[in-house]
């Protein structure tokens, strides 16, 4: 019996990728568009939005973009209505928007901690809650939460981020548990260390021109011996957004070059 590779296609599907003006979200949206999906994305900054619309157009993608802060439930409801009016009801939600604050926990203000939790953990709840009723009505849906290695591991200065991403892993499992009977699959993607603006400070050249110590550390800890790129996440995202993964649910797919499996190269 041959396998119908059209299972990986997304023709006729509507995908909303949050925070997809650049970085990982942009690459995932590009991949879903390449598989046939119609794309909607949002961000908070008008300049980011304008630049992203040009970048999508340059790749032949007619993306619907909007200014929407994912922590604002009313703004999310309005943006979902706009997407449904212009593209149709949402088949695929990628909860990608996220921030990190690298501050030693004992120096972090509670407000700073709450801001990370709000964007990285509360907002995925808000966005999923906004699209699930439509998915139930349609009889199918895909929700992909962008987790992190910090869904599994901690490190200095990222307490709020690790707490949020650990919670996002469990929210992924709970959406799977609560809505699997409606043919809604909710999975996570756990990127390793990916070269985007978010990690740029960890890769900055030192004053003497040498590589950042953290850059050297990550390369030594990764069997692939390199940082990931947003492009490394494109295929896994298409898989989890497509019918090819209809019996995969509550899973976090780590796309990390093997770093979580490896003790690290001897110095």
Binding-site ranges for ligand GCO (CB under 6 A): 100, 102, 148-150, 155, 158, 161, 191-193, 198-199, 202
Query: Using CB under 6 A, which of 163, 194, 240, 259 touches ligand NAP?
Result: 194
Residue 242 binding partner per list ligand NAP, ligand GCO, none, with a CB distance cut-off of 5 to 8 Å that depends on partner kind? none
Of 55-63, 65-73, 135-143, 240-248, which segment contacts ligand NAP by CB under 6 A?
65-73
CA angle 94, 99, 100 (to 5 degrees): 135
Residue 15 binding partner per list ligand GCO, ligand NAP, none, with a CB distance cut-off of 5 to 8 Å that depends on partner kind? none
Q: Smallest distance from the beta carbon of 1 to ligand NAP, in angstroms?
A: 37
For the record, the structure tokens of 157 come out as 């200065």
Complex with ligand GCO: residue 89 or 198, whichever CB lies closer:
198
For the record, the structure tokens of 142 come out as 């895909």
Q: Could you tell me which of 21, 237, 33, 264 has the C-alpha nearest to residue 145?
A: 237
**Are 231 and 27 a contacting pair, CB within 8 Å?**
yes
> Quick one: DSSP state of residue 62?
-
**Are 25 and 96 a contacting pair, CB within 8 Å?**
yes
Query: Using CB under 6 A, which of 116, 121, 132, 146 touches ligand NAP?
Result: 146
**Are 93 and 16 a contacting pair, CB within 8 Å?**
yes
Q: Could you tell me which of 138, 52, 61, 56 has the C-alpha nearest to residue 97?
A: 52
For the record, the structure tokens of 61 come out as 């993608």
Q: Which of 56, 113, 161, 179 is catalytic?
A: 161
188 forms part of the interface with ligand NAP (CB under 6 A): no
Query: Using CB under 6 A, which of 113, 193, 239, 254 touches ligand NAP?
Result: 193
**Residues acting as catalytic residues:** 161
């Amino acid at each position: 019996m041959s396998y119908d590779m059209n299972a990986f296609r997304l023709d006729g599907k509507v995908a909303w990728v949050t925070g997809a003006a650049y970085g990982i979200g942009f690459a995932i949206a590009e991949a879903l568009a390449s598989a046939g999906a119609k794309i909607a994305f949002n961000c908070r900054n008008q300049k980011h939005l304008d630049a992203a619309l040009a970048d999508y157009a340059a790749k032949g993608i007619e993306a619907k973009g909007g200014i929407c802060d994912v922590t604002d439930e009313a703004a999310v409801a309005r943006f979902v209505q706009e997407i449904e009016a212009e593209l149709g009801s949402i088949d695929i939600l990628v909860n990608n928007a996220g921030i990190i604050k690298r501050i030693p926990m004992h120096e972090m203000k509670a407000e700073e901690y709450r801001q990370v939790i709000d964007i990285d953990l509360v907002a995925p709840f808000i966005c999923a809650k906004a699209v699930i009723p439509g998915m139930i009505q349609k009889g199918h849906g895909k929700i992909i939460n962008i987790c992190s290695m910090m869904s599994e591991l901690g490190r200095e200065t990222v307490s709020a981020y690790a707490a949020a991403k650990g919670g996002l892993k469990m929210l992924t499992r709970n959406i799977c548990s609560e809505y699997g009977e409606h043919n809604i699959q909710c999975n996570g993607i756990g990127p390793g260390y990916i070269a985007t603006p978010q990690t740029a400070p960890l890769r900055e050249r030192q004053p003497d021109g040498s590589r950042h110590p953290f850059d050297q550390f990550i390369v030594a800890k990764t069997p692939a011996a390199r940082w990931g790129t947003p492009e490394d996440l494109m295929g896994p995202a298409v898989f989890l957004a497509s019918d090819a993964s209809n019996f995969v649910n509550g899973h976090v797919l780590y796309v990390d070059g093997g770093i979580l499996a490896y003790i690290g190269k001897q110095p």
